[in-house]
Amino acid sequence: MRALIVNADDFAYSLQVSAGICEAFEHGVVTETTLLVRSPWARQSLVQARACGLPVGLHLDLTSPFMADRAPRFGPEGKFCHELFAREFRRTPPPGLTCEDLLACRGEMQSQIAAFADLAGRLPTHLDYHYGLHHIPEIMALYVIVAEQHRLPIRWCERHAGRSPYPLVPDSYCDDYTGRDDAPADGFVRLAEESWEGVREAACHPGHITPVGLADPYNGGRARELAALTTPALKTALAERGVRLVGFDWLKARLSQ
């Protein structure tokens, strides 16, 4: 059995990104999305998702511009972002996190789950994260603890975080797909042709072009991903390779049997 969760990150990054993700769900292969709940467009994005039946998880966020008012730990200039950058890209020792930092992180994760439930009227389908939290084991431990409290499935990147200590995770995770390829639809098919079994999560970042104010330089890449993920022949190509498209609710029901 090969099942694939196609999870579109960054729901509510802008209204254009959210509209593109909804389109990729309605007319393409996206099966889930994941909300930046601190975004000023979170409520409107959830209305869009509800209208088309798109399942929504929570994109736990410590580092985006939406978190800048929670500095000095959070946001793009905050301590957590500097820690992530040091661990992922630099060869110098990272600044290090204190017990107080980690308790603040746990509190923010719990607060974001509560904010999601307040906006959506329910818990998220799953938890994942914005930027590479898998490079900080201490934070990943908190992430698992918070997920366990609510019995929520989670994203897990074994390549960076080691084997998951928590059962409600896909068997594998792929974050290699981007709209920078010359033929991004072909690139997605190649991912399906890789040797894997069970349930895989594939992260993607589709969206319409945001005219002004997008907080990252991936505007064009999002549009190329949207075009690729809504290619009419893509669902057929995946089915021909024995891939079933599913969501996190399906995964949770399967693992809870």
Minimum mean pLDDT among 11-15, 86-90, 97-101: which range? 86-90
Distance CA 20, CA 206 (A): 6
Minimum mean pLDDT among 23-32, 91-100, 149-158: which range? 91-100
Q: Is the pLDDT of residue 128 over 90?
A: yes
Non-local (6+) Cβ contacts of 176 within 8 A are 191
Q: pLDDT class for 217, splitting at 50, 70, 90?
A: confident
What pLDDT score does 172 carry? 95
Q: Is the pLDDT of residue 183 over 70?
A: no
Distances (CA, A) of 42 to 38, 75, 88, 189, 233: 7, 17, 29, 31, 32
Q: If you average pLDDT over residues 223-250, what whole number do you get?
A: 95
- The string of DSSP letters for 196-225 reads --EEEEEEE---PPPSS--SSS-HHHHHHH
Q: If you average pLDDT over residues 222-247, what whole number do you get?
A: 94
Non-local (6+) Cβ contacts of 58 within 8 A are 34, 35, 37, 112, 113, 116, 124, 126, 127, 128
Distance CA 40, CA 44 (A): 9
Distances (CA, A) of 231 to 11, 184, 234, 238: 21, 10, 6, 12
| Segments forming the whole domain that contains residue 103 | 2-255
Q: What is the number of structural domains in the chain?
A: 1
Burial category of 232 from C-beta neighbours within 10 Å (exposed 0-12, middle 13-18, buried 19 and up): exposed
CATH number of the domain bearing residue 190: 3.20.20.370
What pLDDT score does 92 carry? 66
Q: pLDDT class for 56, splitting at 50, 70, 90?
A: very high
Closest CA to 250 of 186, 170, 180, 173: 170
Residue corresponding to tokens 């366990």: 148
How wide is the angle at C-alpha 108 spanned by C-alphas 77 and 4, nearest 5°?
A: 95
Burial category of 57 from C-beta neighbours within 10 Å (exposed 0-12, middle 13-18, buried 19 and up): buried
Distance CA 168, CA 40 (A): 30
What the block records as the tokens of 84 is: 């992530």
